[in-house]
Amino acid sequence: MAMIFGLARELPRADAAMKNENWAKKELMGVELMGKTLGMIGFGNIGQLVAKYAACMGMKVLVYKRTWDPEYVRQKGFEQVHLDELLSQADFISLNLPLNPESKYLLNDETFAKMKDGVYIVDASRGGVIDHAALLRALESGKVAGAALDVYEKEPPLTWDLVKHPKVIATPHVGGQTIEAQLRAAEDIASEVVNVLEGNHLRWKIV
């Protein structure tokens, strides 16, 4: 959500201008979130929280997930759609899914072409779900109005052209870098070790 806010109101650019003693008020024309459509690609625990918070901001939320289960998504308060429908309708697209053979370069030249002109992209999942060369082309053409990236195919990135683009907000994979999140991670790891030793159910087991 911080990335979405930052893109909508160009907060990093505004801050940088002020630090350079530049009163860039007239140059910084943002967009409102209320009434916009957020396309959620991925609908796990994190995706569901982002969708919930976005709805509180007055955004319409469309969900794409690999398994077709519209009743489950409807019970959560949202609408499941096919990927092409999401791409064509979303004003903002948030990626919240794991990287696997099916999601590798899910956003590429072909899928960018299906999006609205002036769409905003947020990726805080895994860098490999976006073809970054294609994203750079979409930014240069104006198809993508802005992108916020916390993850990269190689970390740190091998090239910095995308990171340095004026319409990109880039952070060094800090999505989980809070005091509280690190404490929860430590507690979860310790809890799972105890569960293994005692033969109990594993809460975070990956199958």
Q: Which residue has the tokens 């409807």?
A: 74
Can you tell me the distance from the alpha carbon of 157 to that of 7, in angstroms, rounded to the nearest whole number? Answer: 21
Reduce the DSSP state of residue 73 to 3 states and report it: helix
Question: CA torsion angle for 160, 24, 19, 118 (degrees, to 10)?
Answer: -30
Evaluate whether 139 touches 115 at the Cβ level (below 8 Å). no
pTM of the model as a whole: 0.92
Catalytic-role residue among 9, 66, 165, 173: 173
E runs forming strands in the chain: 37-41, 60-64, 79-80, 92-95, 119-123, 144-149, 168-170
Residues 120 and 194 placed together within one structural domain of the fold: no
Residue 155 annotated in active site: yes
What separation, in Å, do the N-terminal and C-terminal C-alpha atoms of the chain show? 29
Marked catalytic residue, from 74, 155, 184, 187: 155
Residue 112 sits in a domain whose CATH number is: 3.40.50.720
Residues 108 and 197 placed together within one structural domain of the fold: no
Whether residue 182 is found in the same domain as residue 171: no
CB atoms within 10 A of CB 172: 13
CB-based contacts of 129, cutoff 8 Å, min separation 6: 95, 97, 99, 103, 104, 105, 106, 107, 123
- Is the domain of 195 the same as that of 127? no
The tens-digit pLDDT sequence of the chain (207 residues) is: 999 999 999 999 999 999 999 999 999 999 999 999 999 999 999 999 999 999 999 999 999 999 999 999 999 999 999 999 999 999 999 999 999 999 999 999 999 999 999 999 999 999 999 999 999 999 999 999 999 999 999 999 999 999 999 999 999 999 999 999 999 999 999 999 999 999 998 887 654
Residues 122 and 53 in one domain: yes
Number of domains in the chain: 2
Q: What is the pLDDT of residue 207?
A: 46
Domain range for 186: 178-207
